Each structure stands twice: as C-alpha cells, then as structure tokens.
Amino acid sequence: MTKLLEVNDVSAGYHREPVIEKACFSVSQDDFIGIIGPNGGGKTTLLKVMLGLHKPFSGMVKWFLEDNPQSARQKIGYLPQINFFDIRFPISVFDVVRSGLASPDNLRGRFSRKQNHHVEEVLRLLGMSRLKNKSMGMLSGGEKQRVFLGRAIVSNPDILFLDEPGTYVDHEFESEMYDMLKNLNQHMAIVLVSHDLGMISSYIKSIICVNRVVHYHASNIISNEQLTTYNCPIQLITHGDVPHTVLNKHTQR
C-alpha cells in the first residue's frame, strides 16, 4: 500500500507547553483513520502538525506526495474545525466550493467550463445546488459545513482531513455525509477527527486516541483495557453486523 505520510515521534504544543507527545504512525492510500479524544486533548493540533500548519517541537512529519508544492496542495483536502459565527463575507456558495480548485492559473476567476461543471456536480452531491448563488453569510451552520466540505473534496485529493465535520449538520445529513466519505475512501485516504465515532465505526479502519499522548491503533476494534491504557474517554462504538467490540466510556485517571 502506498504510504502518503509518516509522523515520526512528534511532540508539539504552544509557548513551550506540550499539547501532544509521542505521535508515531503513518497514513497510506486506502486508510480511513478516526481520531478521537477529549476536548483540548490535542486532536486539532495533531491535524495542523500533519498538514504543516503548525511546527512541531521535535520529531518529523514526512510527506510522500509529489515534490511540486503546487500539485501537492491540490492533493490535500482539509475541512478545518471552524467557528461559523465568524463567517459573514459576501462570497457565494459556488465560489467557495470552486476556491478549492484555485491555482495561479485561475486565481482571477479563469476556470474552465469543465471545472465549473465539476463544481456543479459537487454541489449536487451535497444537496446545495439550490443555494449555489446565495451569499455564505445567509446560510445556516449546517449549510456552511456542507459548502466547506465541498471545497475540501472538489479537487479530488489523495488525502482528506476533516476536523469534527458533524458538529453543525443535522443527523440526516451527518449519516449521508458518512456514506459519502465511505465512497470517497475508495479513492482517497481519510483522516477524520470526531468526538463520536458511533455513526461511522464500521467505515473506520484504524483509530488514533489523542489525550496529550498519541496512541495509534491499527484496527477499528479496540478494547476497554486499551482505552484505559490510552486514558482516552470516548463514547460508545458499535459496529452493526461486523464482529465488534463495544467501547464504553472509561473512568479517567
């Protein structure tokens, strides 16, 4: 399996205070990794370090995408954890999704007919065609979340990072979105941060528990004992018909 990135013994934090320690794992082409852990445990920091947006104190993140930074950018999709209350800018839904295709060639709005058509398709997939000319500021939180998901996937990246994508969307779209991610995982690696893996536990192939110390777990079945060792309090996970382990919230030390 082709390796996309490697995280080697990474520690990181802010103002010399460590937030994550001992992160050691890699991400390959077919992976679907679920990152779990308590609030403030360091999940978002870990994603930012993987994406090169935050410099680690020690250790290294190594990418195996093509060397050309421009094409590498197109190969990574990222849905950040955002406070949507701050978004008031007068840009249309269509333009936000299309901005996921931006490159020096089309920064001035020179997009091909094919690219525009592809944006329309993504909007359709997300059930947002009707609102494509609306200004972002007019949308509900869940609608904005869909638009940013569209922006993250429109370039058809090799790897897609999602930081708590279920926060603002309703239950119905959340389950639609997870089905969509399952399909996308047929041709892209997915790294998903969520406080609740319940709905997607059967899609996930491996789990990372982040509670300052980072534990990689190479399967989607994880025992209570392991969670206790990881000191990772999480919600119940069931796997439907798949042979499964039920994860209970365990006591924090």
Ligand X SMILES: Nc1ncnc2c1ncn2[C@@H]1O[C@H](COP(=O)(O)OP(=O)(O)O)[C@@H](O)[C@H]1O
Closer residue to ligand X (CB): 43 or 217: 43
- 44 binds Mg ion per the rule CB under 5 A: yes
The least distance separating Mg ion from the CB of residue 42, rounded to whole angstroms, comes to: 8
Closer residue to Mg ion (CB): 119 or 162: 162
- 206 binds Mg ion per the rule CB under 5 A: no
State the Cα–Cα distance between residues 96 and 92, nearest whole angstrom.
Answer: 6
Closer residue to Mg ion (CB): 119 or 152: 152
Residue 232 token pair: 């990772």
**Using CB under 6 A as the criterion, which residues of the chain lie in contact with ligand X when the complex forms?**
14, 19, 37, 39-45
The least distance separating ligand X from the CB of residue 212, rounded to whole angstroms, comes to: 8
Give me the residues paired with residue 163 across strands: 193
Closer residue to ligand X (CB): 50 or 93: 50
State the Cα–Cα distance between residues 99 and 14, nearest whole angstrom.
Answer: 30
* 32-36 vs 189-193, strand pairing mode: parallel
Contacts of 12 (CB under 8 A, 6+ apart): 18, 19, 20, 23, 42, 45, 46, 49, 54, 55, 56, 57
Closer residue to ligand X (CB): 68 or 252: 252
The least distance separating ligand X from the CB of residue 23, rounded to whole angstroms, comes to: 12
The least distance separating Mg ion from the CB of residue 14, rounded to whole angstroms, comes to: 14
The least distance separating ligand X from the CB of residue 96, rounded to whole angstroms, comes to: 23
Q: What are phi and psi of 144, to 5 degrees?
A: -60, -40
CA dihedral 239→37→35→236, nearest 10 degrees, is 10
Binding site for Mg ion (CB under 5 A): 43-44, 81
